[in-house]
Amino acid sequence: MISLKNRVAIVTGASRGIGRSIAKSLADEGVHLALVARSLEKMKTLEQEIQTKGIKVRIFPVDIADPDVPEKVVKETIEEFGRLDFLINNAGIALSKPLVETTVEEWDRQMMVNARAPFLFSREAIPYLKKSDTPSIVNISSVVGYKGYVLQGAYTASKHALMGMTKVLAQEVHQDGIRVYVISPGGVDTDLAWNMRPDLDRSILISPQEITDLILYLLQHRGNAMIDEINVRRVTNQPWK
């Protein structure tokens, strides 16, 4: 297991939920952070919290649906920190709606945030990740990335796209030493899950920290074992279902 101290990570969707947990835990490990999310207020609050840990932080209050954002974030991250070791494509949005009622605009936004943005961030980051001795990309997908859930058609399609892109990317950059992972959680105790399924008992949901702990392991792992996909389920679910 390697030390993460003084390495540099980009984390999208950093203002809340899993992304916020990732940012705080990486800060605890001494990782310098470029944090991406739409909410300036939440980002500033997070920045104040983690700067006390002695790391450098750069916040980007932007909408990753804008195709120009990934290039800007990566470019300015390199200008600020001089290197890039990790890319965490965590940001995601969901839509609960029958497919036949889904508008083109709603469909496109699901694709732009959940699939296109990770592609663009990865494309822009890879030239710099190649220069790192511990380069990793972690994409946060979902159980819907290989299942079809009623009323979640656009969301399901976008996560299927992310899964497919991850599998191809992992093969294409393997020779460059870049490790590409995807984590596919079931119900996590976040606003996104709560908005999609308000009927769920939050006490049985996966905590954001549980997902974060897996990410920390992946970033620190440099052994010979190949870990490409991690599926995470609530203990109340039946295994293998």
CA separation, residue 121 to residues 88, 102, 145, 221 (Å)? 9, 27, 19, 22
Are residues 59 and 85 in contact, defined by beta-carbon separation less than 8 angstroms?
Answer: no
| Cα–Cα distance, 75 to 73 (Å, whole number) | 6
Helix, strand or coil, per DSSP, at residue 190:
coil
Cα of 11 vs its chain's centroid, Å: 7
- Residue 129, both tokens: 């990740």
Q: Which residues are catalytic?
A: 155
* In the block, residue with structure tokens 């190949």: 226
Q: How many CB atoms lie within 10 A of CB 31?
A: 25
Dihedral angle computed from the Cα positions of residues 138, 219, 17 and 20, in that order, rounded to the nearest 10 degrees:
-120
Q: Which long-range contacts (CB under 8 A, 24 or more apart) does 70-76 make?
A: 70/117, 70/120, 70/121, 70/123, 70/124, 71/120, 71/124, 73/10, 73/34, 73/36, 73/121, 73/124, 74/10, 74/121, 74/124, 74/125, 74/128, 75/124, 76/34
